Structure 1
Amino acid sequence: MQEHLLIVGLGNPGEKYALTRHNIGFIILDRFVQCHHLSWEIEKKSQALCARLESDHSSVFCLKPQTFMNCSGESVAAFCKYHTIHHILVIHDDLDLCLGAVRFKLGGSSGGHNGLKSIDSMYGNEYLRMRCGIGKPPISEHKPKEQCVIEYVLGNFSPKECETLETLCAYGVQALDFFVKNPAVNALQNTFNTKQVQNL
């Protein structure tokens, strides 16, 4: 029996946010869709952009919620209501990992990530996460820590960071291709959990 997989990239819609650190989920999933020559289509019921990949092993849905980050769960829950899904992988930014680091994790807490919080509240937390490091923001004694974090995640990658981002995107596509063939968390962790992709 062919399995149905769902890969969700988290981010905010619109050109304003296209190259921000918070949009790393969108960025990597866009690259995956591009590499497989797929196209995005509007999925009105789930308020998302959707692309579909058919393989020998599975039918893969790629989803970019257009609800803005803090309401990502509304899109994911709506999509799963109308489609039978066996495995979900969510790609998101992670402040606790250095830029270029990748970790795969099944379930657990949101770690304060509002996109994950939204999915957890609408769908539950038993899904696979691809945590993509963006590093910690510089803290200013003249601003509250929360404001520093918001400005950092909604800021664009610097030109120097974009070099690492390019390597991370290529690595992310490899990992997603692996997930399509083998969605087992242990296999993904053993093969793709890294300290920093630029060191491979």
Structure 2
Amino acid sequence: MILVVGLGNIGDTYKDTRHNVGFMLVDLILKNYNFLQITNAKFKGELYKINSSLFLKPNTYMNHSGLSVKAVKDFYKCQRIIVIHDDIDLKLGALKFKKAGSSGGHNGLKSIDEYCSNDYERVRIGIGRSNNIKEFVLSKFNEDEKIILDKVLDRAKDALFELINSNDITHIASKYSLKVL
């Protein structure tokens, strides 16, 4: 079983913010595919099944995402975890793929590393950077940025399904990585 995790924060306050691009990609996928919603309070998140893959949106807020990921991973004995997250070190419009490594200061990744190890694949979606990082990641995209974001999310959706089916992150990285749109 493959577990795909879209990182973000729950609630209307955080909807459509830069920190929620992981949630946005999962939502885009759910619009386009038939899914089964799995309800279980111990998973601490919204869990969906598409074919033989699970898609998770943790309800624990970003800083405690690992609690939700671990609960689903342990219950379903997931062999692979793919995490979709925002990356301030990449410009808006950039898309990168990575296997394992450091959290780069991302609190959602730090939490997953703490509870599950850092041995998972990452779909990194660039959001850009500003001086006040906390304020910036919790801000919404402007209209021009949304146009770029929609293109990146569409490309990331295609790449994600190819990654799920191929298990070859090097190939996916060379085929789908974008510096900036």
Shorter chain as denominator, the TM-score bin is over 0.9
Once structures 1 and 2 are overlaid, which stretch shifts more, 33-42 or 124-133? 33-42
Aligned to 2:120: 127
Aligned mates of 1:41, 1:160 — CA distance in 2: 36
Measured on the aligned residues, the alpha-carbon RMSD in Å equals 1.2
Aligned mates of 1:173, 1:135 — CA distance in 2: 20
Structure with greater Cα Rg: 1
Matched, 1:31 2:28: yes
Q: Offset of 1:105 from its aligned partner?
A: 0.4
Q: CA 1:47 to 1:101, structure 2 compared with 1: closer, same or farther past 3 Å? A: same
Aligned to 1:8: 5
Aligned mates of 1:173, 1:37 — CA distance in 2: 15
Aligned to 1:152: 136
Matched, 1:61 2:45: no
Aligned to 1:180: 164
SS at match of 2:83: strand
Aligned mates of 1:180, 1:121 — CA distance in 2: 24
Aligned to 2:111: 118
Q: CA 1:187 to 1:43, structure 2 compared with 1: closer, same or farther past 3 Å? A: farther
Map Cα deviations across residues 17-65 of structure 1 (whole Å, 9 max, x no partner): 11100000000111012111335443311101011011xxxx1000000
Aligned to 2:67: 74
Aligned mates of 2:77, 2:89 — CA distance in 1: 33
Q: If the length of structure 1 is used for normalisation, what is the TM-score? A: 0.87
Sequence identity of aligned pairs in percent?
Answer: 39
Q: Offset of 1:117 from its aligned partner?
A: 0.2
**Match for 2:101 among 104, 108, 121?**
108
Q: Which amino acid aligns with 1:46?
A: F
List alignment gaps of at least 5 residues for structure 2.
none
Q: Offset of 1:131 from its aligned partner?
A: 0.6
Aligned mates of 1:177, 1:67 — CA distance in 2: 25
Q: Which aligned runs of 4 or more in structure 1 are off by greater than 6 angstroms? A: none
Q: CA 1:74 to 1:86, structure 2 compared with 1: closer, same or farther past 3 Å? A: same
Is 1:10–1:26's contact at 8 Å kept on the other side of the alignment? Answer: yes
Matched, 1:169 2:153: yes
Q: If the length of structure 2 is used for normalisation, what is the TM-score? A: 0.96
Aligned mates of 1:175, 1:15 — CA distance in 2: 28
Is 1:22–1:153's contact at 8 Å kept on the other side of the alignment? Answer: yes
SS at match of 1:90: strand
Aligned mates of 2:37, 2:141 — CA distance in 1: 24
Q: Offset of 1:96 from its aligned partner?
A: 0.4
Aligned mates of 2:86, 2:172 — CA distance in 1: 18
Number of matched pairs: 181
SS at match of 1:91: strand
Is 1:10–1:72's contact at 8 Å kept on the other side of the alignment? Answer: yes
